[in-house]
Structure 1
Amino acid sequence: MRRKTLRFGKGFRVAFDVRRAQAAEMVIAPGDSEGGPDNRHRGADQWLFVVSGSGMATVEGRRVPLKAGTLLVIEKGERHEVRNTGRTLLKTLNFYYPPAFDADGDPIGPGRD
């Protein structure tokens, strides 16, 4: 068993991972975005849950509105960007299967871009 209290500080931070999955917190300031038109995880699915705030995800060119309570699955290989379109911080909890990043937030292994 593992436990951690999430702080939702600035940017992207890996919370922890286990053998087959990984959790990370992501905080995006108003007007900012993460990812981009060529961002993708070739070997990992990304489950994104919006904790608070609002935004827009663009997945394979399709726009998806985000608000607190939204759960979005970005399947491996899908190009995507997450943008904060609101006035407050956009806070998301992300799960990657399998793990896609090292402790510094750099792509690793099968989740490499």
Structure 2
Amino acid sequence: MRGFIQDIEELTVKNENFRQVLYTAKNCQLVLMALKPKEEIGAEVHTLDQFFRVEEGTGEAVLDGVRTPIRAGFAVVVPAGANHNIINTGKDPMKLYTLYSPPNHRDGVVHHTRAEAEADNEHFDGKTSELQLTNKDNGLQKS
């Protein structure tokens, strides 16, 4: 087992993609996000728990209708079943990462824009980063 050990702050700040899945384990998933000024994730409800950490920018976290200002250094924990949204209210990109528990997206998926993410009806398919790495090491193609 390899796991994931990298400078998450550096990766998050450098990320320009709306969504990029970095690592998928059996019970959680690490995803980078970048929101353009005035962009939002979009109101959603999951049957899983979610954690956000803001590295750059300012915005609002909306949990079940309650709006709370957030900025670099803030963490947001969203319990399963909560209607939530993250909105960039600033003039600069908002850079953040999120942990889904359990995984929510297909391992390795990259969505450059929100529109691309909304058009792709992908979901976690049970394949973890470790499985993908093992298959690659064994000469099998990453699926």
Q: TM-score range by the shorter chain?
A: 0.7 to 0.9
Partner of 1:32 in structure 2? 39
Structure 1 portions without partners, runs of 5+: none
Deviation at 1:4, TM superposition (A): 4.7
- 3-state SS of paired residue (1:69): coil
Tell me the residue number matched to 1:45. Answer: 49
AA paired with 1:96?
Answer: Y
Q: How far apart, in 2, do the equivalents of 1:77 and 1:13 lie?
A: 23
Q: How do 1:30-109 and structure 2 match up within 5 A? A: 30-36=37-43, 39-42=44-47, 44-103=48-107, 104=109, 106-108=122-124
Q: Quick check: 1:3 aligned with 2:5?
A: yes
Shift, 1:81, TM fit? 1.1
The one-letter code sitting in structure 1 at the alignment partner of 2:45 is R
If each structure's helix is expressed as a fraction of its own residues, which one has the higher value? 2
Q: Distance in 2 between matches of 1:12 and 1:64?
A: 22
Contact 1:15 1:24 in 2 (8 A): yes
| 1:2 positional shift | 2.7
Stretches of structure 2 lacking an aligned partner (at least 5 in a row): 111-121, 126-143
Q: How many pairs align? A: 106
Q: Find the residue that maps to 2:41 and give its secondary structure.
A: strand
Length-normalised TM-score, structure 1? 0.85
**Percentage of identical aligned residues:** 26
| Paired letter, 2:88 | N
Return the TM-score normalized by structure 2.
0.68
SS at match of 1:66: strand
Larger Rg: 2
1:47 to partner: Cα distance: 0.4
Residue identity opposite 2:70 in structure 1: L
Q: Equivalents in 2 of 1:96, 1:20: separation in Å?
A: 8
- Going from structure 1 to structure 2, the CA distance change for 1:60 and 1:107 (only over 3 Å counts) comes to farther
* Higher strand fraction (1 or 2): 1
